[in-house]
Amino acid sequence: MDGTFNQTKPLDLLVGSRVCFSFDPRSATDRWPIVFLERVVSKLFDQDFSEAVSFLLSGGEFDVPWVTTPGSTVRFLSGYLLGYLGAWPLSQLVYPGRVFTNYAVLGDDVVIADENVATRYKEPLDLLQVVISKDKSLISRSGSAEFTNNFRVRDLTVDLSPVSIKALLNTFHPYGLMAVAHLYSVRDFRLLCRLGGAGYRVLARLDHRRPRRYSRLGVMGLKLLSPSYPLDFWLGKGRPLSPEAHGRLVRLLRAKLKPRELVLPPDELFETEESRDFLEYSLLYGWMRQWLNYLKWYHLTALSPWVTLEELFSGPVVSHSWRMVAVGEDLVRFSLEVVYRSALLKCINQAVK
Looking at domain 9-32+78-159, its CATH class is alpha beta
pTM beyond 0.85, yes or no = no
Return d(Cα 271, Cα 69) in angstroms, integer.
33
From first to last of its 353 residues, the chain has per-residue pLDDT tens of 666 666 677 777 788 787 887 776 655 555 666 777 777 778 778 888 877 777 776 666 766 666 656 667 776 666 566 555 555 565 555 555 556 778 887 777 888 888 888 888 788 777 777 777 777 788 888 888 888 778 888 888 888 887 777 778 878 777 778 878 877 778 788 888 888 888 888 888 887 777 777 777 777 776 666 666 777 777 776 677 788 888 888 888 898 888 888 888 888 877 788 877 877 777 788 888 889 999 999 999 999 999 988 888 888 888 888 776 655 444 444 334 445 556 666 666 665 55
The DSSP output letter for 203 is H
Every domain of the chain and the residues it spans:
9-32+78-159, 164-227, 229-328
Question: Across the strands, what pairs with 145?
Answer: 152
Beta-carbon contacts of 256 under 8 Å, excluding residues fewer than 6 positions away, are 339, 342, 343, 346
Q: Containing H/E element for 199?
A: none
Return d(Cα 251, Cα 74) in angstroms, integer.
61
